[in-house]
Amino acid sequence: MAIHVDIVSAEGAIWSGKANMVFAPAREGEVGIAPRHAPLLTDLRPGEVRVQPAEGEERELFFYVTGGILEIQPHLVTVLADSALRAEDLDEAAALEARERARKALEGRAGEVDIEQAQRELVEAEARYRAAQKLKGKRAG
Amino acid sequence: MAVGKEIRTKIKSVKSTQKITKAMEMVAASKLRRTQQRMEASRPYAEHIRAVVGHLSQANPDYRHPYLEKREVKRVGYIIITTDRGLCGSLNVNEFRAILADLRKWREQGVEADLCIIGAKGVAFFRRLNTNIVAATTHVGEVPRVADLIGAIAAMTEAYTKGQIDRLFLVHNVFVNTMTQRPEIRTLLPVEPVDADSLQKYWDYIYEPSAEELLDTVLNRYIESQVYRAAVENVACEMAAKMVAMKAATENAGKFIDQLQLAYNKARQAAITQEIAEIVGGASAISQ
């Protein structure tokens, strides 16, 4: 028993295949999706989507998404990401830099920065950094 | 020899025009490849969100979103995607013709239309006509971004939500292949149910956090993705049409140059013949 997973972003198809289990950062907390899950519709926070493929590689796959929509049907999971990256493409240094920039923008408040925007950027940068670090730990281990 | 000075100047000017059209052809060809890739890349998202919306229209939520409700048509809206620049053959003209035919059909039923136009060519065309333009965006460029389109889209979806328009259409060119592009008018709102794929009869999603909020997000995202995809496709059409038009222009310039060259040669030959005749005539007059 496996569930079909499609991960797409506005820039193209990211991954598609069968999986035993999928984890995604839903609005109300991380969700784990096994086959025959009840239909669910929710939106995604910035974070990582993890996929345990059904066949071939047993290694878990990581994808970084900046937000989007998650649709679940009993036989199907669709991740409509605003922007998605394979974790392999994540650049830890760039993520760290983006986080610093966002934090500075929040602290500095002087230049009439859009605070909501800055906060959103910070959340996104942090999620990106966490995902990059997790991946790094995995490689080292 | 001053023979055919005008012809020579003309040949020179046509040749430089030919150089320009040739260069434009090559530029369009190289851009075409990139825009085609972009078009292909935008396809998966558009198709998947279409599938999700299709599922959604079969679900049975307590809350009915206005985008899913069919209303009696009193006024219609169009989002029209055109190019920013010309020199792309009959691409825009064909599109305008299709739109005008459609508008006439509505007018006969007493239905007026609001237009939202993307692209400078469309704005220039419809401003001259007696039409009601409610929103316009120009110079989206060769790499359209959703952010640039959102304003125009929001104007129309808002009008729909408020009940100012009862139906929303999207008009753009469809890329069939490099030689063929055809205009297409598609209904965006209300969202038409997509043909059912084997889902059971009575069911509904679990919505997190709320159906209202999520339906709004998903349906707006859907509209945006469809318009974005149409914009990307239209750019690919523009490049293909421009390439073909410029290729034809280059060939025509070549033919024109050949004709001019022939005329020039004839004129020159006539002048030489005349000169010889004069010399011969003069010589025979002396020897007599």
Could you say which of 3.40.190.150, 3.30.70.920, 3.40.1380.10, 3.90.1150.10 is the CATH number of the domain covering B44-244? Answer: 3.40.1380.10
Q: Which residues numbered 208-237 in B keep a CB inside 8 Å of some CB on A?
A: 208-209, 214, 217-218, 221, 225, 228
Question: Contacts of residue B208 in chain A, CB cutoff 8 Å?
Answer: 26-28, 40-42
Does the annotation count B237 as an active-site position? no
B45: which 2 tokens? 């998202």
- A78–B contact, CB cutoff 8 A: yes
Which pLDDT score is estimated for A120? 77
Q: What is the mean pLDDT of residues B10-23?
A: 95
Query: Which of B51, B199, B207 is closest, CB to CB, to A41?
Result: B207
Which pLDDT score is estimated for B197? 57
Residue with tokens 């230049």: A111
Confidence class for position B199, pLDDT limits 50, 70, 90: low
Q: What is the mean pLDDT of residues B241-265?
A: 95
**Alpha helix (H) ranges present in chain B?**
5-58, 91-108, 120-128, 146-162, 211-287
- Chain A: residue whose CA lies nearest to B52: A71
Spell out the domain ranges in chain B. 44-244
Q: Is the pLDDT of residue A141 over 50?
A: no
C-beta atoms of A12 and B44 within 8 A: yes
C-beta atoms of B206 and A43 within 8 A: no
Which pLDDT score is estimated for B122? 93
Question: Tens of pLDDT along B207-231?
Answer: 878 888 888 888 988 998 899 999 9
Which pLDDT score is estimated for A111? 54
Q: What is the mean pLDDT of residues B233-257?
A: 95
Level-2 CATH architecture, domain A3-87 = Sandwich (2.60)
Question: Contacts of residue A12 in chain B, CB cutoff 8 Å?
Answer: 40-42, 44-45
Sheet arrangement for strand B167-175: B132-137, B112-118, B75-81, B167-175, B181-189
Rounded to 5 degrees, what angle do the CA atoms B22, B26, B28 make? 115
Min CA distance, A41 vs chain B (Å)? Answer: 5
Query: Which of A15, A33, A71 is the best residue to mutate to test the B interface, defined by the most B CB atoms within 10 Å of its own CB?
Result: A71
- A27–B contact, CB cutoff 8 A: yes
Q: What is the mean pLDDT of residues B241-258?
A: 95
C-beta atoms of B55 and A6 within 8 A: no
Stated as kind and residue range, the H or E segment containing B136 is strand B132-137
Q: What count of other Cβ atoms lies within 10 Å of the Cβ of residue A45?
A: 19
Question: Tens of pLDDT along B25-37?
Answer: 999 999 999 999 9
Whose CA is closest to A15, among A23, A26, A6, A28? A6
Min CA distance, A140 vs chain B (Å)? Answer: 34
What are the Cα distances from residue B117, in Å, to A49, B235, B248?
A: 38, 15, 29
Question: Contacts of residue A38 in chain B, CB cutoff 8 Å?
Answer: 206
Q: What is the mean pLDDT of residues A84-108?
A: 71
Which pLDDT score is estimated for B195? 60
Min CA distance, A139 vs chain B (Å)? Answer: 30
Question: Tens of pLDDT along B142-174?
Answer: 888 888 888 889 999 999 999 999 999 999 999
The lowest-confidence range among A130-134, B86-90, B155-159, B198-202 is B198-202
Min CA distance, B214 vs chain A (Å)? Answer: 7
Which pLDDT score is estimated for B172? 95
B189 vs B280, higher pLDDT: B280
The lowest-confidence range among A87-91, B16-20, B210-214, B246-250 is A87-91
Tell me whether strands A40-44 and A29-33 are parallel, antiparallel or unpaired. unpaired
Query: Which of B149, B205, B225, B226 is the best residue to mutate to test the A interface, defined by the most A CB atoms within 10 Å of its own CB?
Result: B205
Q: What is the mean pLDDT of residues B172-184?
A: 93
Query: Which of B45, B56, B207 is closest, CB to CB, to A8?
Result: B45
Query: Which of B44, B209, B217 is closest, CB to CB, to A28?
Result: B209
Catalytic residue (choose from B76, B88, B99, B155): B88
Q: What is the mean pLDDT of residues B32-48?
A: 90
Query: Which of A27, A43, A80 is closest, CB to CB, to B52?
Result: A80
Question: Tens of pLDDT along A20-62?
Answer: 999 999 988 899 999 989 889 998 998 889 999 887 666 788 8
C-beta atoms of B41 and A38 within 8 A: no
Question: Tens of pLDDT along A61-94?
Answer: 888 888 899 999 888 999 998 877 776 666 666 7
Spell out the domain ranges in chain A. 3-87, 90-140
Q: Is the pLDDT of residue A138 over 80?
A: no
Stated as kind and residue range, the H or E segment containing A52 is strand A47-53
Cβ distance B140 to B116 under 8 Å?
A: no
Min CA distance, A107 vs chain B (Å)? Answer: 27
Question: Tens of pLDDT along B105-145?
Answer: 999 999 999 999 999 999 999 999 888 899 898 888 888 88
Is the peptide bond prior to B190 cis by the omega test (within 30 degrees of 0)?
yes
Which pLDDT score is estimated for B258? 96
Cβ distance A4 to A22 under 8 Å?
A: no
Q: How is residue B190 annotated by DSSP?
A: S
